[in-house]
């Protein structure tokens, strides 16, 4: 009898461990069986670049496809309430104010509020990317997922000979200390440029929309 019990105890113990490992943790499971990831646990997305020539319309289409986002269904919505996998636009002055003040949210528009508006992508994990254009020399410094130091970048609202490539940089890694500047001060719809620091880690005080 003792021999038989000695043989069955390790088997029972292994069975219990197997069941426990397959059972969802109550801390990770959300109602309905969907697993939620808290914002503090999310890894900041890597910057995305498309190193190809093309019209602005075509480059934006390619970036949206690459990031897996589609047009917003409502006219205006805060980034935090926008559905994941969607994109919207924000006027340069409102983007500048939100980033300079480290506002916890952004107001997105379905339609372009201005010709020089910036585009925002909300990825399927809820993180945000700011879309713009930059020069070819900066792209190799921006796209690595891990960088040893912060870099200063200039992101333009529209393409030009100086900034022909479309890129998308993670909002959570941006530190901005100045407002966007119009390239032609006399034209309200002139393309704008925004100088900012792209951090090596996600250390904004108030991550946008999270």
- The predicted-structure confidence for 166-192, as pLDDT tens digits, reads as follows 999 999 999 999 999 999 999 988 999
pLDDT in tens, 107-130: 999 999 999 999 999 999 999 999
DSSP 8-state code for residue 60: H
Under 8 Å between Cβ of 158 and 183: no
pLDDT score of 18 more than 60: no
pLDDT in tens, 84-98: 999 999 999 999 999
| 184: helix, strand or coil | coil
User: Phi and psi dihedrals of 166, rounded to 5?
Assistant: -90, 135
10 Å Cβ neighbour count for 120? 27
Under 8 Å between Cβ of 103 and 143: no
Instruction: State the pTM of this model.
Output: 0.76
- Tell me the range of 21-30, 53-62, 195-204 where mean pLDDT is highest: 53-62
- Residues 118 and 192: their CA atoms lie apart, in Å, by 9
């Amino acid at each position: 009898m003792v021999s038989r019990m000695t043989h069955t105890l390790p088997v029972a113990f292994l069975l219990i461990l197997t069941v426990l490992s397959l059972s969802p943790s109550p801390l990770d499971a959300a109602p309905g069986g969907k697993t939620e990831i808290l914002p503090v646990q999310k890894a900041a997305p890597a910057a995305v670049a498309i190193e190809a020539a093309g019209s602005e319309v075509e480059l934006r289409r390619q970036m949206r496809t690459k990031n897996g986002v589609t047009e917003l269904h409502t006219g205006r919505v805060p980034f935090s309430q926008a559905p994941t996998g969607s994109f919207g636009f924000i006027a340069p002055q409102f983007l500048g104010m939100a980033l300079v003040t480290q506002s916890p949210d952004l107001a997105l528009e379905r339609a372009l509020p201005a010709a020089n508006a910036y585009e925002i992508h909300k990825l399927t994990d809820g993180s945000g990317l700011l879309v713009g254009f930059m020069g070819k020399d900066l792209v190799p410094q921006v796209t690595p997922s891990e960088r040893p130091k912060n870099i200063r970048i200039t992101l333009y609202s529209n393409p030009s000979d100086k900034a022909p490539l479309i890129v998308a940089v993670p909002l959570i890694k941006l530190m901005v200390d100045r407002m966007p500047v119009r390239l032609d001060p006399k034209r309200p719809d002139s393309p704008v440029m925004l100088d900012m620091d792209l951090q090596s880690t996600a250390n904004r005080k108030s991550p946008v929309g999270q």
